[in-house]
Chains A and B, each alone.
Chain A
Amino acid sequence: MNCDLRLTIWLRRAGLALALLSTLNIQLSTAFAFEGRITAAVTRGGETETLLYTVGTNQLRIARGETDRPYPKNIVNLDTGDITLLFPHNRSFVRLKPAAENQSAAPPGFPTMPPPPGGFPPGMGPQAGTMPGTPAMSPPGMSSMPGMSPSATIGPTNLPGMPAMPPMPQRPQMVQMPQMPPGVGPQAGTDVPNMPTMPPMPMMPPMMGKMELKATTDTTNLLGYTCTRYELKQRGEVMEIWATDKLLPFQPYLQNQPHRFGPRMIEEQWGGMLKAEKLFPLLAVLRFETPTVPSGAKPTVPGPERMRFEVKSITPEKIRDEALFEPPSDYQEIQPLPF
C-alpha cells in the first residue's frame, strides 16, 4: 500500500516536473525561436560591409566581418534590450540602456517649415522667391558661388600653434556653360520678365511627413523563410523590405553610442522600425523614386539604388561559446555619455 502510494506520489511529481519543463521549453522556444548565425551584406555609397549576427539563447552579438580595422562589436541582451558596445581599438566597453534607442527623435523646439507668405497657391509646392526669414540673395552666376571661401574664417583663430586648416580640395572643373537663348536658363533675377502664368502644378507631397512601415500582400521565399514585402517612403526615396517574423527582432549595428539627435534619413530609421515590429529583414533596398512620373502613376522603372541590405546566409545552430556575449576580461568599462 505504502509502495503504491509512494509510486503514485513520485509519478505525480515526475509528471508535474515534466509538465513544468515542457512549459519552460515552449516558452523559451517561443521567445527566441532562432539560434544560430546570420551573415548579411550592406552596400552603400559603393562600399560593402559584412555583418555577422550570432544569436544565442537570449543574447545577440553583432560584429563586422572585415578585419582591416578593429570595428566595434555589439552584445545585445534580448531579454532586457541592454546593449554593450565593445571597442577593441582601446580595449574598452560601454553599457547602454535601451532608452538610448529613442534619443534620435526631433529635438524639442525644433522649428517646422513655415509656409510662404500667403500660403501655397492651389496645387503648388514651394514657390519662387525668398523663404520667410531668410536673407535676400542675388542669384549667382553658375560658375562662381557666393561666399564660397569660408576657409579664411573657419576654425579657431586665436590659438597659438594651431594646426593650419587643410586646404580645401580642388573643386571639380565645371564645364563651360553653353550659350543659351536670351532669357533662358539661370538669370540675374528670380522674376522672369514677361513670363506667362504657369498652369496649376500637381500637388507636392507633404513636407517631412511621418514615415510609416507599410505591409503589402506580396510574399516570397528567401533562404527558406517566407518573407512579406514592406515599404517605407520619405523625401523622394522608397525602401522595399522583405522581412520575416520567424527569426528575431532586427537589431541595427551600432558603431557608437547613439547621439541625442542624428540624421533621420531612411537609412537611420528603417532598422528601428523593423525591430519595433519584431521583424528581421532578409532583403532591403533603398532607392530614389523616379521623379518624372506623373503624380499617382506607378513608376515602371526603379530608381537608382542608394543602399542595400541583404542576408547572405542563415545557419541555425546552438551557440555554446558564452564568452562571445561577455566583454573580454581585460577590457575597461567606461561611462556612457549622459544623453
Chain B
Amino acid sequence: MKTQTLLSLASASALVSILNFGFASAFAQGSLTPPGPPGPTMKSLAQIEPRTPISSAPFTITNSGSYYLTTNLIAGSGQNAIIISTNSVTLDLNGFTLSSPGSVPIATGVLINSGLRDITICNGHITSSVTNNGPVFSGTGFGYGIFYLGTSPVNVLVSQVTVSGVWYQGINLGSGKTTMVKNCTVNVAGNYGIVAGTVVDCTALTCFNAAIDAYNVQNCYGTCVGADYGVYAVQSVQNSYGYSSGNVGLYASQTAENCVGSAGGVGAGLNASTALNCVGNGSGGDGIDATIAQGCYGYTGTGAGLAADIAQSCEAYSNSGIVGLDATYLAENCYGETGNGNNIGLLAGTALNCYGYSDDTGTGLSATAALNCYGYSASGTGLVATYGNFCFGTSVSVTTKYNMP
C-alpha cells in the first residue's frame, strides 16, 4: 500500500514536471508585457456610414462628399428641397421622397448650381401634384424635378429616380454630352420631360414639350401631349418608342434603329436620316420621313406612308394621302399602297423589284425608271413610267419600253 502511494506520488511529480517544462518552454520566448493598451474592436460611425445624413429641407450641399436622406422631406412653398452648390457630390435619396405642397411653381426638387461637375443623384422620388387635364396643366408643387442654373453641369449621372407632376421640367441636365439619365421615369411635366446627353431605359409620359431630348436615346418611351417631339435625339435612337400629339413622334438626326414613332397631328410618325427596321404611324403627316429607309413600315391617314430618298425592303400604306411610298431617288424591293382617291401607291425616281397598289382610281406604281416592277390599280392606271424594263401591271403607260410588249 505504501509502495503504491509512493509510485503515485512519483508519477504525479513526473507529470507536473513535464507540464511545467512545457509551460516554461511556451512562455520563455517572449515578453509578458502587453504591447499597448487594448484597441477598439468596433468601427467608428464615419467608417460604418461615411456619408452625411440629410433630414430636413431645404438643405444646401456645400462640401464635396456623399449624402443620403434619412426620411421623406417636404420643402416649403417656393423652396428648393436640396441645392447642390459644389463639385463631386453623390446624393442618395435612399428610397425617400422629396415633395412640395406649395402653390408657387418656381421650386426644384434637386437644384444643381451653375457650372458644377461630377455629381450623382440616385434612388428616390420627387413628387408634386400637377396634373394634366386635357390640354391644361394645373395643380401645386415643384416646377422642376432635377434642374440646374446657368451653365450646364458636366459628368452627371441620375439614376433610379422618379419624378411626377411638375409644372415645367422633369429632369433637365442641360446641353452637355457627359450627362446621363438612366432607369428614371417622369410622369406629367408641363414643359420638357428628360433632357440630358444620354438617356437610357427611361420613360417620360404626358409631357407638353419633348418627352425625351438627348444626343443618344436607348430603350426609352416618351409621349408628348403638346406640339413637340415625343423622343428627340441629336444623334441616334435605338429600341425606343415616341409619340406626339402635334409633332413628330420620334426624331433622330442621324439613325433610328428598331424604333416606333407615332404622331397624332400633322407631324410624321418617325423622322430620321437613316431609319432601320422602324415603324412609323402618322395621322395627318407622313408615317416615316427618312433619307434612307431600310426594312421599315410606314402608314398614315392623309400623308405619305413612307417618304425617303432611298427606300429598300420597305412597305408603306396611306389611306387617303397622295402617295403610299415615296422614294425620291430609289425604291428597291418595296411595296406601296394607297387606299382612297386618285393617289399613287408607289412613287419613285427609280423603282427596282417593286409593287405599287392603288385601291381606287389612282396609279399603282409611278416612276421615271421602272425595272422588274408591277403596278395594280382598281380603276386607274396600274403602272406609269417614262422608262420601263420588264414591267407589268393591270394597265401600263410607259413612254419607252424595254422587254415589254
- B58 an interface residue at 8 Å Cβ cutoff? no
Is the C-beta of A220 less than 8 angstroms from some C-beta in chain B? no
- Contact check: which of A147, A158, A208, A259 meets B183 at CB < 8 Å? A158
| Cβ of B246 under 8 Å from chain A | yes
B67 at the interface (CB under 8 A from A): no
Known contacts A156-B201, A168-B260; is-contact A338 B175 (Cβ 8 Å): yes
Known: A139-B353, A338-B175. A146 touches B313 (CB 8 A): yes
Give the shortest distance, in Å, between B257 (CB) and chain A (any CB).
Answer: 9
Within 8 A of A (CB), among B207-231: 208-210, 213, 219-221, 226-229
Interface string of A232-267 (1 = CB under 8 A from B): 000110000000000000000001110111110100
* Residue contact A151 to B260, C-beta cutoff 8 Å: yes
**B246 close to A262 (CB less than 8 A):** no
Contact yes or no, A125 B330, CB < 8 A? yes
The residue that A235 contacts in the complex, of B130, B315, B328, with Cβ under 8 A, is: B328
- Complex CA gap A110/B390 in Å reads 38
Give the interface residue-count category, chain A. Answer: 35 or more
Distance, CA A103 to CA B277, complexed state (A):
29
A180 to B376, CA, bound (A): 11
Q: Is the CB of B333 within 8 A of A190?
A: yes
Q: Across the interface, do A46 and B284 meet the contact criterion of CB distance under 8 Å?
A: yes
Asked whether any CB of chain A lies closer than 8 Å to the CB of B283, the reply is yes
| Structural contact, B234 and A145, CB atoms closer than 8 A | no
| In the complex, chain A residues whose CB is within 8 Å of the CB of B330 | 125-127
Residue of A nearest to B367 (CB): A291
Interface members, chain A 29-60 (any B CB < 8 Å): 44-47
- Contact yes or no, A155 B299, CB < 8 A: no
Flag if A90 contacts B271 (CB, 8 Å): no
Chain B positions within 8 Å of A153 at CB level: 239, 258
Please state if B226 and A171 are interface contacts (CB–CB under 8 Å): no
**B contact residues vs A (CB 8 Å cutoff):** 105-106, 130, 135-138, 143, 152, 167-168, 172, 174-175, 183, 185, 190-192, 195, 201-203, 205, 208-210, 213, 219-221, 226-229, 232, 234-235, 239-241, 246-248, 251, 253-254, 258-260, 265-266, 268, 271, 273, 277-279, 281-285, 289, 291-292, 294-295, 297, 299, 301-303, 309-310, 312-315, 317, 319-323, 326, 328-330, 332-333, 335, 337, 339, 343, 347-350, 352-355, 357, 359, 366-369, 371-374, 376, 384-387, 389-392, 394, 399-400, 402-403
- List 17 additional contacts besides A110-B254, A257-B209, A292-B386; criterion CB under 8 Å: A45-B301, A87-B191, A92-B190, A111-B254, A126-B310, A134-B292, A137-B295, A142-B335, A150-B278, A155-B219, A202-B386, A255-B246, A256-B210, A288-B326, A294-B386, A338-B174, A338-B175
A-B pairs, 9 with minimum CB distance:
A45-B284, A90-B190, A304-B322, A185-B374, A255-B227, A46-B302, A139-B333, A156-B201, A155-B221
Interface residues, chain A, CB within 8 Å of chain B? Answer: 44-47, 69-70, 72, 87, 89-90, 92, 107, 110-111, 113, 125-128, 130-131, 134, 137, 139-140, 142, 145-148, 150-151, 153-159, 162-163, 165, 168-169, 171-172, 174-175, 177-178, 180-181, 183-187, 190, 192, 195-196, 198-199, 201-202, 204, 207-208, 235-236, 255-257, 259-263, 265, 288, 291-295, 304-306, 332, 334, 337-339
